[in-house]
Chains A and B, each alone.
Chain A
């Protein structure tokens, strides 16, 4: 049970390794899971706070990288392997590298600092307060019930099938939108010359 938890190998439920029948929840599966969960959750929170608090823009990006990485660890812990791997590729490996790249290209001095004005602070406080309120309301109002039985083994084939049948239209629309963004960005970049 390393980073990629007991749920990594397909046909396995969360605390109990059904395939091998060892390490059952009563013995020690539960606490390991809990320790990993709280560690990863703590990392996510601390790095998220780091993004908000740090003034240096590159350090902010690094904190963001840690936050995205720990969210992906959380996905692996919850047996959502596909989501975790895609989170790594798209956000941690792709978007974030582009972000750092942009920062490095555009910042005037190597130690560009990020100073926040009073109005910005107010706006940010209002927006995040509303978001916190909404999320809190939803979380407390929802009736949570635990999932019974097995976590579905391999989700990736199912995801692929659904994307190309049930959700074909949103999938294609997202593809077209991204394509338009790319062409637009290339056009803008070309005009400067």
Chain B
């Protein structure tokens, strides 16, 4: 590429790359931008009215469609890694760039598909191509999660406070509010205080956002849908989430602002102390399964609602609650949102930030919220397994259609994302209902309540696991009864939530005043 560029530069302008930049690249970029803008306007004219009316349905079907597409891609990738590559009998026989199969061979092995599919599939033989696709998907997801969670948070906050939240941008319930905010943040001035420590101030947002993105590398969305199936996946995710705090502390320190330093101090205090109960609560299910590999932990819970780890014994059940509380503290969510505490510290560690750098902290926060919810789901609540008993699908066979259907009904990214989104919602819900607690209460709660509790849980769980290795029949009965009781408690919570949510939805017009009812676009 570079060689071609140099050659073109020499040939055209006698080796003046700047001239090339201005005369060729510049017009090309401008033309592309103009074309893009024209296309955007055209699309908006055509689809805008439709989106304005049916934004919610489009959003919902996009989410469901994406999940199904993700699952189908996972099937394809699985086929590529096993079938396709295994079919190349002789590893020394290679086509271009050392790929095991040529396009002709691919077409030969896929007689039912048209020829251009084989051409499209050919690059997937390279691990690096598959990795780049996977990375692209992860980055896209990493960008979408904060965008829509922020919009959702504002809607939830609005409803809880008997107002509407964003309603205007894009039509249906302000669904494109975050896109507008993003454009605004990109265009905003990037202010750096004169007395700040410049390099650190500029670097701090990256130190916060990169670890949060790294966590997605090892987070499995399904048994086959994981970027890197690390044998120490859990430790890796905890490790990268733990270094996010460095960015926050750097930001608070480099701002040279009292409020910022207070925020950073609180964050450091809170993060370092809550990492310990969080890690220990996570050790409880790990010691029950016996592996740190997140994919294996998820697969160990296949079978349905009662096979989920949280319902296996009382210690894991309580450990789930402990973990969830500690994870709120580690993502600085209310009631542990002391580092930014709007009502006392202006905005805490990001007081001095503006524009895109400011938004990076929010990307980090919301992505970390998704990751900790994902850990809770994988370690305690069955990961990507659905609550439906998977025994139903036993008679369906192993055809490609049956596999796809099983992936949608019994296990797969769609269930994982649904469960994570539920726990994201719980985090939003808690933020707008619970008051913030004081720093001494935060530390008291960690050192004197959570830490001893998780220690007891770890010990009790070890004893329980040890006891269940015995073959005594009476113990089996006790285990089974405990499983049923805990599963029923969990089901009661889940059903109760659904009932309350349905009640709220049915009476949604009662929550807002008469004046705004007429202005509500979609509800």
Enumerate chain A interface residues (CB-CB to B < 8 A): 1-4, 6, 8-10, 17, 19-24, 26-28, 32, 56, 58-59, 62, 65, 69, 72, 81-82, 84-89, 92-94, 96-98, 100-101, 104-105, 110-111, 153-157
Chain A to chain B: the 10 pairs with minimum beta-carbon distance, closest first: A93-B242, A27-B98, A88-B239, A154-B231, A85-B235, A89-B239, A85-B236, A8-B228, A23-B127, A101-B268
Q: A81-B231, A85-B235, A97-B246 are in contact. Are A21 and B88 (CB under 8 A)?
A: yes
| Chain A hits for B98, CB < 8 A | 22-24, 26-28
Chain B residues closer than 8 Å to A156, beta-carbon distance? 231-232, 292
Minimum CB distance partner of B128 in chain A: A1
Q: A2-B217, A101-B265 are in contact. Are A10 and B229 (CB under 8 A)?
A: yes
Given that A85-B239, A86-B235 are known contacts, is A9 also in contact with B197, CB under 8 Å in the complex? no
B100 interface residue per 8 A CB criterion:
yes
Tell me the complex Cα distance, A109–B291, Å: 48
Write out the residue numbers on chain B whose beta carbons fall within 8 Å of the beta carbon of A58.
Answer: 197, 200, 250, 253-254
In this complex, the member of B135, B240, B293 whose beta carbon has the largest number of chain A beta carbons within 10 angstroms is B240
Give chain B nearest CB distance to A109 CB in angstroms: 11
Contact size range, B: 35 or more
From B127, B199, B275, residue with most partner A Cβ within 10 Å: B127
Residue of A nearest to B237 (CB): A85
**Sample of 20 further A-B pairs with CB below 8 A, known A19-B81, A62-B200, A97-B272:** A2-B227, A6-B127, A8-B229, A8-B230, A17-B127, A21-B88, A22-B125, A27-B98, A28-B97, A32-B128, A58-B197, A59-B199, A59-B200, A62-B246, A81-B230, A82-B231, A88-B239, A89-B242, A96-B246, A110-B253
- Among residues of A, the one whose C-beta sits closest to the C-beta of B127 is A23
Q: How many residue-residue contacts, CB under 8 A, span A and B?
A: 145
Q: Mark B127-144, 1 if CB is under 8 A from A, else 0.
A: 110010001000000000
Residues of A within 8 A of B200 (CB): 58-59, 62
Q: Are B100 and A4 in contact (CB under 8 A)?
A: no
Contact for B268 among A24, A100, A111, A153, CB less than 8 A: A100
Of residues A10, A22, A86, A157, which shows the largest number of chain B Cβ atoms within 10 Å of its Cβ?
Answer: A22
* Nearest neighbor of B244 in chain A, beta-carbon distance: A93
Query: What are 29 of the A-B contact pairs (CB < 8 Å)?
Result: A8-B230, A9-B229, A10-B231, A19-B81, A20-B127, A21-B88, A21-B100, A22-B98, A23-B126, A26-B98, A27-B97, A28-B128, A56-B197, A58-B197, A62-B200, A85-B236, A86-B235, A88-B240, A88-B243, A92-B239, A93-B239, A94-B242, A96-B246, A100-B249, A101-B268, A101-B272, A104-B265, A104-B268, A157-B291
B345 within 8 A of A: no
How many angstroms from the CA of A151 to the CA of B200 in the assembled complex? 39
**By the criterion CB–CB under 8 Å, are B271 and A97 in contact?**
yes
Q: How far is the CA of A17 from the CA of B228 in the complex (A)?
A: 13
A38 to B250, CA, bound (A): 28
Distance from B170 Cβ to chain A, minimum over Cβ atoms (Å):
35
Interchain nearest-CB distance for B250 vs A (Å): 6
A92 and B246 contact, CB distance less than 8 A: yes
Residues of B within 8 A of A89 (CB): 235, 238-239, 242
B14 lies within 8 A of chain A by Cβ: no
- Say yes or no: is B281 at the interface (Cβ < 8 Å to chain A): no
Chain A residue nearest to B293 (CB atoms) is A154
CB neighbours of B230 from chain A (8 A): 4, 8-9, 81, 85
Minimum C-beta distance from B265 to chain A (A): 6
Choose from A23, A85, A97 the contact partner of B249 (Cβ within 8 Å): A97
Query: A17 vs B99: C-alpha distance in the bound complex, in angstroms?
Result: 13
**What separation, in Å, do the CA atoms of A19 and B80 have in the docked complex?**
12
The answer to whether B85 and A20 touch across the interface, beta carbons within 8 angstroms, is: yes
Taking CB atoms, residues of chain B closer than 8 Å to A2 are 131, 135, 217, 227-228
Q: Is the CB of A22 within 8 A of B217?
A: no
Q: How far is the CA of A111 from the CA of B200 in the complex (A)?
A: 13
Contact check, B81 vs A20: say whether CB atoms are below 8 A apart.
Answer: yes
B115-128 Cβ-contact flags toward A at 8 Å (1 or 0) = 00000000001111
Q: Nearest-CB distance from B446 to chain A (Å)?
A: 14
CB distance from B152 to the nearest CB of A (A): 29
Assembly CA distance A20 to B79 (angstroms) = 11
Most chain B Cβ neighbours within 10 Å, of A23, A69, A100, A154: A23
| Residue among B99, B230, B254, B271 with the highest chain A CB neighbour number at 10 A | B230
Of all chain B residues, the one with the shortest Cβ separation from A11 is B231
Tell me whether B245 is interfacial, beta carbon within 8 Å.
Answer: yes
Structural contact, A65 and B268, CB atoms closer than 8 A: no
A16 to B99, CA, bound (A): 13
